[in-house]
Chains A and B, each alone.
Chain A
Amino acid sequence: MDRKQYCVKLSVQPSRGLVDEKFIVLVQNVSPGFQMTIHALHKCEDGHSYEAFAHYTANATGTVNVSEDPSLGGTYSGVEQMGLLWSLRPVPGSKPGLRLRKVNVQTPMEVTISVYQGHQTEGFMDQVPLVGVLVERWYMAPRVRRIPITENGLTATLFLPSGLGPFPGLLDLWGGEGKLIEYRAALLASHGIACLTLDYLTPEITMETGKMVDSQYIETAYRVLEQHPQVLGSRIAMLGLSLGASVTLKMAVYSQVMKLRCVVCISGSHVQPIDGFLEELLNFCRINSETKTRINEEDQVIYHDLLLPIPTDPALKVDVGRLQCPLLLVVGEDDQNWPAYESAIDMKEMMEKAGNSHLLTVLSYPNAGHLIEPPYTPHTRATAFLSVTSVKKVMALWGGETVAHSRAQEDAWRKTLAFLRENLYGSSNCGF
């Protein structure tokens, strides 16, 4: 090895961070003008490997600072402090349609950041880098407590922030795939909110009885939060993504039991039969899917039209004009899976007519897709998807262009946290 190159110094700070924290990647001690590739490698829990890389040229002091210097090419370009994370994609030769999601939130994601000589685009695994460091990315801050909830027939997990509390609470719902997804709730708890993530599509009780839960199941989850000694019962919010947003809107408007402080809907729609609950909603989707599902040239399935056109019949949409607490809608304008954008426009109109539009904030992101996740989560345009309404996996098109989508995730998360902070910690009263 060339004696000069051993002395490359690489630092990533912080080396142990929360997944939504920024890091600074600094390379020092190379010759001015030295060409390098900075590479990120992550092997996820299911054994698949993901990588990102970018080309840099050292400045006159022999330094590259990823947060200040432009990438000249790679999986991202330009000045992108966090590009090594959000541009991660499955390594060449991987199965198509993979999606990177952490299942065990009690351990960190480990990412190896390395520096290779020259501007390279492949074969990283066959070489020894000049230098490499290991970075941990955590969904859970120290002493956030993870508590499985199975009482009252629920399938849920509660995450309590560290400290004595009491804390404001949040009910967290995911989308049409079902299962119990913990990472967003763990991260929110790391921000001081007691968060209950709820499996409402595939809970134990549905798996055993074959029956979908009714709205009382959601209300039971709400009660668990409300009555918890470390939760401020009068400061509970609800957050839903995709199908979870549909449920969230239904409960926010019609539930007599739930008194929500504020509501966040990501990539969601208010279009659904008002009567009934999950059974009816899924049937509605199933019926529409027979005629309105589109498949593109790449064999990717587009469910976007299932709820279109936005109905005028009031029996087919949640009457958001009756909402009494602040609502934050986060939508990607290139959402190919759900008409979140069109729904947002319609909801705005409904609320303007009803006189409660001062409660509404819409964050609409051009070129962002359906899966608006916590920041730096890699974007995938299409992944293998098995919805509870289908019998086989399809390649679902989510939409979004990677750079715009990644920016949207970062911006939306920051604003979501601020919205929750303001409404859950603020002293203003909500009228109910």
Chain B
Amino acid sequence: MSQTVPPVLSVHPSRSLVDEKLKVLVENLPPGSPVTLHSLHRSEDEHYWEAYGHYVSDHRGIVSVAEDLSVGGTYTGIESMGLLWSMRPVPGSRKGLRLRKMNVRSPMLFNISVYNGLITEGFREQTPLASALIERWYMAPGVQRIDIREKGVRGTLFIPPGPGPFPGLLDMWGGGGGLLEYRSSLLASRGFASFALEYFNSGELESAELEFSYFENAFSIVKDHPQVIPDKIGIFGLSLGSIMTVYLAAESTIVKPLCCVCVSASHFYPPGKNLHGVFEVMTMNSHMIRVDENGHHAWRDMGLEIIKEPSNRINVEKINCPMLLVNGLDDQNWPSVECADEIAQIMSAAGKGDLVTRLHYPDTGHLIEPPFSPHFRATKFKTATGKQKVIMLWGGQTKPHSDAQEDSWRKILSFLQHHLYSRETPKARM
């Protein structure tokens, strides 16, 4: 085999942003040759993730992932990005892993390979016919990353390249806590000055004494930045972050977002309390947490119980800006679809129905992330007590969830573009 014609594997572009599509091409194979395309990634916390698809080369000896059918593997069908979104931990990995890029200044590296035959396992023990390394970035060239420690607020601000000024975003993640920068750096790569806010440490929600003012201060920090246009600021929240988003939009007299994106939203927030109150209510209702046959914790039923209590509801009828509500219909972590239903209903009754846009996706779970990242149906999660890690059930089936991520991201960017970059005077009622 040593001097035979090697196949040629090419991936374009070899360096791309994580929301860009790839073209994976194998040439110079024998015609009608069964091959396996494989992707491998070693995460920052040193776990291995992989995906693979089974293909047969055409009469010219070519396999084009963007155009050809995968007939087996971790994804099937004509899926140009299947080698990324269908990735899962390699056999033998710990349970409940989640893939998240912490250092956004370096790219994620993926090794794409082509193997002879239709293989389903033991990739590491075999020699591929060809392989190529690609880089996937959360940060475009020229994006600035600024550590923020100001007015007691902690986070990282990402500014797009160029002279500016730019519209801004306050970006909040959910109940896992900590500082996740990747969505903000990607949003900055798409033209929005985005502030990734850290509002409690991982697993320390119980001790978080965060007052409402913390979030108002965070919003002001974005607003006051010299490279941000002060009256073009939006808020982006996922899960617990979207609770804060809805609350700020409804209740703040200081913060006036031009628009909001809420992924897997909820509109419950115990009145008058700070964030700690959220934790208290959940603890009170924790007996409603359902543990399934795999030992995974599903909070959905607990959530349904909590939102029954009308005094827990945020007064969403007070919201005066466009809201984009993104939900998965198989969200097992929170009844976010029911929440979105209610939010839409209440705002409609208040004559503000035209401010609400809803995106909901079948067989999609709670963690709706930027496109082409793997789907996590259930992962380890440090609960608010911080003492134990459970495996949290987020929901969703891989293919529909991945489609939802791709579709929603595009629509989220378009929504933000429309409201924050529009040449027309904003329609928001101030």
Contacts and interface: CB of A to CB of B under 8 A. Distances in A.
- Physical interaction between A and B: yes
A228 to B, nearest CB: 13
Interface stretch (B75-83, B128-136, B168-176, B401-409): B128-136
A142 B109 contact: yes
Interface string B106-143: 00010001000000000000011011111101001110
Interface in A385-432: 421, 425-427
A234 B3 contact: yes
Contacts of A114: 162
Interface string B1-33: 011011011101111110010000000100000
Given A14-B15, A14-B16, A166-B6, A133 B422 contact: no
Contacts of A62: 423
B6 A425 contact: yes
A9 B418 CA distance: 12
B13 A425 contact: no
A96 interface: no
B234 to A, nearest CB: 14
B161 A18 contact: no
Interface of B: 2-3, 5-6, 8-10, 12-17, 20, 28, 109, 113, 127-128, 130-135, 137, 140-142, 161-163, 165-166, 189, 191, 229, 417, 421-423
Interface in A1-55: 4, 6-7, 9-10, 13-18, 21, 29, 31
A233 B2 CA distance: 10
A425 B12 contact: no
A430 to B, nearest CB: 13
B229 A6 contact: yes
Interface of A: 4, 6-7, 9-10, 13-18, 21, 29, 31, 62, 110, 112, 114, 128-136, 138, 141-143, 162-168, 190, 192, 232-235, 421, 425-427
Contacts of A235: 3
A10 B8 contact: no
B8 A13 contact: no
A421 B16 contact: no
Given A163-B9, A425-B28, 12 more contacts: A14-B13, A110-B141, A131-B162, A133-B141, A133-B142, A142-B109, A142-B133, A142-B134, A164-B127, A165-B6, A168-B6, A192-B8
22 contacts: A6-B166, A9-B191, A9-B421, A14-B15, A15-B140, A15-B189, A16-B16, A17-B15, A128-B163, A129-B163, A131-B163, A133-B162, A134-B142, A141-B14, A141-B133, A142-B135, A143-B133, A162-B131, A164-B131, A166-B6, A167-B6, A232-B6
Contacts of B421: 7, 9, 29
Contacts of A7: 421-423
A133 B12 contact: no
B15 A138 contact: yes
A6 B229 CA distance: 9
Nearest to B143: A134
A135 B141 contact: yes
B423 A163 contact: no
B20 A134 contact: no
Contacts of B15: 14, 16-17, 136, 138, 142
Contacts of B133: 141-143, 162-163
Report the 9 A-B pairs with minimum CB-CB distance, sorted nearest first. A134-B142, A16-B15, A132-B162, A143-B133, A134-B141, A163-B131, A14-B13, A142-B133, A7-B421
Most A C-beta atoms less than 10 A away, residue of B5, B141, B166: B141
Nearest to B160: A133
B422 A425 contact: no
A163 B13 contact: no
A354 to B, nearest CB: 29
Contact of A164 (B128, B135, B140, B162): B128
Nearest to B127: A164
Contacts of A427: 5
Contact of A133 (B14, B130, B134, B140): B140
B140 A10 contact: no
Given A6-B165, A134-B142, A16 B137 contact: yes
A10 B10 CA distance: 28
A358 to B, nearest CB: 22
A131 B165 CA distance: 9
Contacts of B134: 142
A134 B10 CA distance: 25
Given A132-B161, A134-B142, A17 B109 contact: no
B393 to A, nearest CB: 36
A129 B163 CA distance: 7
A17 B423 contact: no
Contacts of B229: 6
Contact of A21 (B12, B161, B417, B422): B12
B8 A133 contact: no
A222 B132 CA distance: 26
A9 B10 contact: no
A16 B142 CA distance: 11
B5 A425 contact: yes
Contacts of B162: 10, 114, 129, 131-133
B164 to A, nearest CB: 8
A146 to B, nearest CB: 14
A21 B198 CA distance: 39
A131 B134 CA distance: 29
A232 B134 CA distance: 24
A62 B229 CA distance: 22
Most B C-beta atoms less than 10 A away, residue of A16, A21, A128, A168: A16
A168 B17 CA distance: 31
Contacts of A129: 162-163
Nearest to B134: A142
A2 to B, nearest CB: 11
Contacts of B13: 14, 16-18, 21
Most A C-beta atoms less than 10 A away, residue of B9, B12, B137, B140: B140
Most A C-beta atoms less than 10 A away, residue of B130, B134, B229: B130
Contacts of A29: 417, 421-423
A4 B13 CA distance: 34
A215 to B, nearest CB: 26
Contact of B130 (A163, A190, A233): A163
A163 B127 CA distance: 11
Contact of A166 (B2, B17, B28, B109): B2
B5 A31 contact: no
A117 to B, nearest CB: 12
A177 to B, nearest CB: 30
Nearest to A235: B3
A426 B5 contact: yes
A9 B414 CA distance: 12
A133 B139 CA distance: 12
B3 A232 contact: yes
B372 to A, nearest CB: 15
Nearest to A232: B3
Contacts of A166: 2, 6
Nearest to A13: B20
Most A C-beta atoms less than 10 A away, residue of B8, B113, B165: B8
Contacts of B130: 163
A63 B203 CA distance: 47
Nearest to B417: A9
A15 B138 CA distance: 12
Contacts of A14: 13, 15-16, 20
